[in-house]
Amino acid sequence: MNYMYRLTVIIISSIALGFAFNIFLLPHEVLTGGVTGVAMVFGLLTPLNTGYWIVLLNLPIIILGWFKLGKEFIINSIISVAVTSVSMLYIPIVQITDDALLSSVFGGVLTGVCIGLIIRYYSSTGGFDVVGILLIKKWDMPLGGLIFALNSLVVVVSGFFFGWELAMYTMLSIYITGIVIDRIHTRHIKLNLMVVTSRGEELRQALIDNLVRGITIIDGQGAYTREDKKVLFTVITRYELEVIRWVLRDIDPEAFVSISQSVQVVGNFRKDD
167 and 36 in a single domain? The answer is: yes
In angstroms, rounded to a whole number, what is the distance separating the alpha carbons of residues 243 and 210?
7
Are 146 and 86 within one domain?
yes
Within this chain, do residues 134 and 216 fall inside the same structural domain, yes or no? Answer: no
What CATH number has the domain bearing residue 204? 3.30.70.120
Claim to verify: residue 22 and residue 156 sit in the same structural domain: yes
pLDDT value at residue 13: 93
**What is the spatial distance between Cα 175 and Cα 150, in angstroms, rounded to a whole number?**
11
| CA torsion angle 114 119 123 129 (round to 10) | 90
Does residue 271 fall inside a structural domain? no
**Residue-level pLDDT at 273:** 46
149 located within any domain: yes
φ/ψ (deg, to 5) at 239: -60, -35
Q: Are residues 40 and 175 in the same domain?
A: yes
pLDDT of amino acid 143? 64
Tell me how far CA of residue 114 lies from CA of 119, 129, 134, 219, in angstroms. Answer: 9, 12, 20, 46
pTM here?
Answer: 0.68
d(CA 184, CA 166): 27
For residue 254, what are the domain limits?
A: 190-261
Domain count, the chain: 2
What is the pLDDT, as a whole number, of residue 233?
A: 93
Instruction: Indicate if 135 and 154 belong to the same structural domain.
Output: yes
Is the domain of 174 the same as that of 214?
no
Q: Is residue 266, in this structure, part of any structural domain at all?
A: no
Point out the domain boundary residue: 146, 162, 184: 184
Same domain, 14 and 121: yes
Report the chain (273 residues): mean pLDDT per 10 consecutive residues.
83 93 84 69 77 77 74 84 88 87 90 88 74 66 66 72 76 84 74 90 88 87 88 84 84 90 71 53
Indicate the helix (H) or strand (E) that contains 86. helix 71-90
Long-range contacts of 214-218 (CB under 8 A, 24+ apart): 214/268
Please report whether residue 272 resides in a domain.
no
- Residue 153 domain-assigned (yes or no): yes
Phi, psi of 81 (to 5 degrees): -65, -40
* pLDDT value of position 130: 72
